[in-house]
Amino acid sequence: MEYELILAVLGRHPNDLELAMFSLMWSEHCSYKHSKRLLRRLPTEGPHVLLGPGENAGAVDVGDGLAVAFKVESHNHPSAVEPFQGAATGVGGILRDVFAVGARPIAILDSLRFGEPAASERSRYLLERAVAGIGHYGNSIGVATVGGEIYFDQAYEQNCLINAMCLGLAPHGRLIRSAAVGPGNVLVLLGALTGRDGIGGASVLASAEFGEGDADKRPSVQIGDPFTEKKLLECCLELLEDDLLVSLQDLGAAGLTSASAEMASKGGLGLDLDVGRVPLREPGMEPFEVMVSESQERMLCVVTPDLVPDVIAVCDRWEVLCTEIGAVTDNGRLRVLDGAEVVGDLPVAALVDECPMYNLEPEAPIVSLYPSPAPVLGGGETPAEVLLALLGSPNLASRRPVFEQYDCIVGSRTVRRPDAADAAVLELPGGAALAISIDGNGRRVACDPRAGAAEAVYECSANLACVGAEPLGLTNCLNFGNPEKPHVAWQLVEAVEGLARACEALGVPVVGGNVSLYNEAPTGPILPTPVVGMVGRLPDASRAGQIGFTNDGDAIALVGPFAPSLTGSELAKLRGAAPAGDLPVMEPGAVREAHATVRDAVCAGALSSAHDIAEGGLAVALAECCVAGGIGARLKVRIDDWVRELFGEAPGCAFVVSGAEEVLGPLGRVIGRVGGDTLVIPGALEVAVSELRAVRDNGLLQYASSAVWSE
């Protein structure tokens, strides 16, 4: 059907090069043909928005003439095939998205999903190699990896998720768009040589389910070089600082094809592009190979003819390859030349704007789509045994073995390191700070896609509130299975609606994002995993909140609506329950009020600590506060239903805070006091902080096979 549409658009048969270009631009990864209509439901306007969806990255105003640009993207399929390079080039790609709008990258966060490490050598291999790839690229280029999350579930066994988020800073005046402008202007290719690596890479791999023979797809995975990207980054920022570029575009999925077509489409113009001028890593490459190569560390820019010598001079100083490969035209066509020969000639609108859009056919499943996990707990354990089992489980154990492989302080902006606070905090010039969080919970979305997706937004906002930050905008990465299947379509539709309603309730606009579909193997789809990255600002970096209890004698209070449920919880998983059932209904107004209450108290310096109650419930939140602060706590409230009250979950709603009792009283319900070396919940459990720490610290190490993890 799509080929017939191509014939109708062109009025002729396409040649092989043109067909390759159509196949990439009309792929799911490039065209969003199953989700574009749906994404219009998300709110995108707000008082701080400077760049919204459609650019390489979104950007919001953070005051004092500064903008923060940020985006999250997936590199799932390439990483499942070749985890080191797949994850590494995922980081490289998201960095380019940020400096493509003129912002200097200052931080990276990662949201990762793998199969159960206890059950699968493959899952452990993917985890270790993906983490190594992320560390290799980020550490080498000198951008701090300041936060993230990792979850494990058997649904991700064949299809891991590697979502990378980056944010950067720029003066307002340095922000640049990607639209081609000015017929007669010159098209210039910057950066690395073009090779055969990545041909049909992200654009093809991410547009189909996994199946047999996926190991044969390894040559389709791009190969990254962070040192080349560092030079390219500095070169592009200097070119923008000197006002030498008209527009700038990253070469990502589909390479020159997508970069040139999208630039032309956004500008309503055409481009002539000569593949014979493109510097090659390998001799004898065919024109179609040059156009679809996804070789990394390349950028495409538009330059006025009089400034080309100045651009070349800057590139020479940075040892960045700079080549004139074409020109902007006013005919609305993308013409591919090989010297004097025209080897492809397509209307830009046909490639970008006339891709067929498909209507989803959602249908709610009658039963859970996901099998019950193997039970770890039998149901007869004491509260103390349950707490220790949760703290030592892969999904709640300390992530220190992972994040210690990343440089989290390079750049000297990091105020709160991983594990110290619910959100990363980075200092801004003048003493203010940015806060960043990334979150999502596929099990809870699998139970109730609308409520579970909304929880991801609330959870990110709650994380920001715990450090005292007001949300400015968010980005998302929607990771789902095959949208052509009714139950996956239903998950996607419901999740987007949940995201939209939560964003509207909190007044937080969506400034960009990514959709990753067909995350599905013969064994079935992944858990529906919308990942949310949120950025906020706090006025005083020195008052950024932290998790750990600090002062002996401080009161402990519960703030916000707390209606815990075991549905989709970590305890339910350990007991072998499938992700199914209704999640608690949250009142958005009450959630927003709780977030504002905690945020204002942190900014005022009234709290010693603040931590939201999320995975594992109240008992785990208290244990994490004790471990982070190295001090115990004693509750003074009666626990009637200890399973639900201590281990039930309602992410993004309620907080555990500590401070002076006269301050906490008006904020919430005082439930205990900080002190001693033991966590005590009368009538339920009494566990030494040292034991809590030991179990939590060893949770992931027990699955490690590499020497690095054991150090």
Which residues participate in catalysis according to the annotation? 29, 75
Taking the C-alpha atoms of residue 409 and residue 629, their distance in angstroms, rounded to an integer, is 21
Strands 520-521, 424-427: pairing kind: unpaired
Q: How far apart are CA 148 and CA 436, in angstroms?
A: 10
Contact between 86 and 130 under an 8 Å Cβ cutoff? The reply is: yes
Q: How many residues does the chain have?
A: 711
Q: Of the candidates 545, 582, 557, which has an alpha carbon nearest to the alpha carbon of residue 567? A: 582
> Which DSSP state fits 483?
T
Nearest CA among 24, 45, 43, 20 for reference residue 33: 24
Please give the single-letter amino acid code of residue 521: A
Residue 669 parent element (H or E): strand 669-674
Are the beta carbons of 499 and 454 closer than 8 angstroms? yes
- Contact indicator for 78, 126 with CB cutoff of 8 Å: no
Phi-psi domain of 198 (left: phi exceeds 0; alpha: psi -120 through 50; beta: other): left
Q: Alpha-carbon distance 295 to 662, whole Å?
A: 60
Token duo for residue 471: 């949300």
Name which of 378, 427, 389, 419 is nearest 106 in CA terms. Answer: 427
DSSP 156-215: GSSS-EEEEEEEEEEEGGG-------STTPEEEEEESPB-STTTTTHHHHTTS---TTGG
In Å, how far are 14, 30, 207 from 253, measured between CA atoms? 22, 7, 11
Strand partners for 521: 524
